[in-house]
């Protein structure tokens, strides 16, 4: 009972916190930046993860009471949302790479329309890719269930390898490589800002340093990515071991809940590092958001 209460609380907190992020970025015009649009996509993904956690709680003891069709729908939606979340993390890494390593080109290359297009493409690709991965299950819901009340996450061997490569290995490699480059450049620029001599040298050599706010954003989003990797790796480490796709209920529930728990941590990281998020929460909770022209409030 304690486990059910704890997970239900985390699920509710995850949905509520990410809903605050969605309202904040959507409502306040000053927050309509390319980086925040990507965070909005991540918040949508995390919000639905919070909702999915309610269903995952049913699988702790291995019993599913909603039938084969709902099990298939749950599995399909879960794969789409987690896949889109990984894709959004790649977009965050690309955004920070351009902002830190090529600051002069950021405003021209990373526009709101391009970001919106990339976000839509990310979600569409997730839907198409997971439709191919789960084709057998979608065609015949419950075909791999051995008894009534069972809801297993099953994929064929080839589909499992494809999912592992395109949903884990390739995205994580891109994220790590881009952020390693961002980290090196950010450290060198931070040192240059502390030294007038170094700053003058950079100017004479024609190098342009990123804004201090961009460096701070890179640090914050770096924390988001590190936490994401820590929560994601156990889920795919099970797949990398090459064990049978029918993972027992207890192990599956643990790694999936850990993966889902990352969605609760992201808004907490925003609250810790972003003053605009703390300010927006205060406005929303005190219902000042209902006032006329509240969308034009100064949030930065």
Tokens of 164: 């592992």
Tokens of 42: 């991540």
Give the per-residue pLDDT at 206: 46
Q: What is the pTM of this model?
A: 0.84
How many helices (H) and strands (E) the chain has is answered by 12, 0
Please answer whether residues 150 and 64 qualify as being in contact, where contact means their C-beta atoms are separated by less than 8 angstroms.
yes
Residue 202: enclosing H or E segment and its boundaries? helix 196-204
**3-state SS track over 156-188:** CHHHHHHHHHHHHHHHHHHHHHHHHHHHHHHHH
Residue 94 CA to residue 228 CA, distance in Å, equals 16
Question: Is the pLDDT at 40 greater than 90, yes or no?
Answer: yes
Percent of the chain with pLDDT over 70: 81
Q: Which CATH architecture has domain 2-296?
A: Up-down Bundle (1.20)
Tokens of 163: 């999912």
Residue 24 vs residue 219, higher pLDDT: 24
Give the per-residue pLDDT at 168: 84
* φ and ψ of 249, to 5 deg: -60, -40
Contacts of 119 (CB under 8 A, 6+ apart): 37, 38, 41, 88, 91
Predicted confidence (pLDDT) per residue in 170-201, tens digit: 998 998 898 888 888 877 776 766 665 555 55
Please answer whether residues 157 and 135 qualify as being in contact, where contact means their C-beta atoms are separated by less than 8 angstroms.
no
3-state secondary structure of 205: coil
């Amino acid at each position: 009972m304690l486990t059910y209460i704890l997970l239900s609380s985390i699920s509710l907190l995850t949905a509520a916190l990410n809903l605050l992020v969605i309202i904040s970025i959507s409502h306040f015009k000053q927050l309509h930046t390319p980086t925040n649009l990507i965070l909005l996509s991540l918040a949508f993904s995390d919000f639905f993860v919070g909702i999915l956690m309610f269903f995952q709680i049913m699988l702790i003891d291995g019993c599913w009471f909603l039938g084969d069709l709902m099990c298939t729908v749950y599995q399909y939606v879960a794969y789409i949302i987690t896949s889109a979340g990984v894709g959004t993390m790649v977009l965050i890494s690309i955004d920070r790479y351009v902002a830190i390593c090529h600051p002069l080109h950021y405003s021209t290359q990373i526009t709101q329309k391009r970001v919106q297009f990339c976000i839509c493409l990310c979600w569409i690709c997730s839907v198409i890719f997971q439709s191919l991965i789960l084709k057998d299950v979608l065609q015949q819901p419950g075909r791999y269930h051995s008894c009534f009340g069972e809801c297993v996450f099953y994929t064929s061997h080839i589909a499992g390898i494809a999912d592992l490569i395109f949903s884990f290995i390739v995205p994580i490699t891109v994220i790590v490589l881009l952020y390693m480059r961002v980290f090196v450049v950010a450290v060198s620029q931070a040192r240059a800002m502390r030294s007038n001599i170094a700053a003058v040298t950079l100017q004479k050599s024609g190098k342009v340093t990123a804004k201090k706010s961009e460096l701070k954003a890179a640090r914050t989003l770096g924390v988001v990515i590190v936490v994401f990797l820590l929560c994601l790796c156990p889920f795919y480490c099970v797949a990398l071991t090459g064990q049978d796709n029918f993972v027992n209920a207890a192990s599956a529930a643990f790694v999936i809940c850990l993966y889902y728990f990352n969605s609760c941590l992201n808004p907490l990281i925003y609250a810790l590092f972003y003053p605009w998020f703390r300010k927006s929460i205060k406005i929303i909770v005190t219902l000042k958001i209902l006032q006329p022209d509240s969308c034009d409030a100064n949030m930065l």
